[in-house]
Amino acid sequence: MAGNRDELHPRPAAPLARWADAPHIIAGRDHESGGTWLGVSEEGRFAVVTNLRGYGPPAADRVSRGALVTDVLSGEEPAALDAYNPFNLIAVDGAGARFLTNRPAPLRAALAPGLYGLSNGPLDEPWPKTLRLKQQLLEWLVAGADEPARLLAALGEDRLPTGGLTPDTPSDAPREPALSPIFIRDPVYGTRCSTVVAIDRAGKGTIVERRFDAAGAPTGETALAFAWPDRA
């Protein structure tokens, strides 16, 4: 998995770490709502969530979408998908990979083996940056998938990719470009961190997070090893 977290720069968050209150979880943490956007569990789980554009600003009375990832990493099945603002979620455990969303209607679907791209639109919608990053991930896998540095470099591309389709709906996030590169540089809303997760067939994994300031300059990097049990 290779992905960027794009968010308002002032929103406080803790960097990637093992959680003191749940040591099997390795993730960053949103200090505003307490959840997370992406993480792994040493109990054999992975989850990542994105906002889903085109439905207006988030409603303050709904449950934080970060709680979805926390639930999955804790082994709990997210309930009442309509209780959250619009989202996409990919969850992985010993049974395989699943895709969950609540727009245009609640959906829980198994994912067949393959290569997927997910931004703030429908699953695998061919936005230019989504196609470009899928290409980079495929090339990395074919080349031997040995180090995350190449994927982190791909996540830092700030030029607009060629090809692909313009999103059908405008972004609900302030200052997000209508058609954005993989890495967004903006002093208000931009790429906060890049993350790579890699797990081999024996269940040995690495998660790497590279963080950035409002100018797009690196501010730190964390790499943690983990292991999934044999059943995963």
What proportion of the chain, given as a percentage, has pLDDT over 90? 87
For 155, the 3-state DSSP assignment is helix
Q: Which domains does the chain have, with CATH numbers?
A: 2-227 (3.60.60)
Q: Report, in this order, helix, strand and coil percent for the chain, each rounded to 5.
A: 15, 35, 50
Any bridge partners for residue 91, and if so which? 47, 98
What pLDDT does 231 receive? 56
pLDDT one-digit tens code per residue, 171-198: 888 888 878 999 999 999 999 999 999 9
b/e burial code for range 140-173 (CB count within 10 A of at least 16 → b): beeeeeeebebbbebbbeeeebeebeebeeebbb
Tokens of 80: 């009442």
Question: Region 10-33: what's the mean pLDDT?
Answer: 97
Q: Can you tell me the mean pLDDT for 78-94?
A: 95
Q: Which strands make up the sheet holding 38-41, listed edge to edge?
A: 13-19, 22-30, 38-41, 45-51, 87-93, 96-101, 107-111
List the one residue out of 211, 209, 227 whose CA is nearest residue 219.
211
Place of tokens 């709904």: 62
pLDDT > 90? residue 75 = yes
Q: Residue 67 CA to chain centroid, in angstroms?
A: 14
pLDDT of residue 106: 97
**Which tens digits make up the pLDDT trace of 113-137?**
999 999 999 999 999 999 999 999 9
Least confident of 17-26, 31-40, 174-183, 215-224: 174-183
Phi-psi region of 90 (alpha: psi -120 to 50; beta: other; left: phi over 0): beta
The string of pLDDT tens digits covering residues 135-155 is 999 999 999 998 999 999 999
User: Taking residues 64-73, what's their average pLDDT?
Assistant: 96
Average pLDDT over all residues of the chain: 95
Is-contact 127 161, C-beta < 8 A?
no
Task: State the pLDDT confidence band at 232, using cuts at 50, 70 and 90.
Answer: very low
CA angle, 53 as apex, 50 and 54 as ends, to 5°? Answer: 160
Amino acid at 30: D
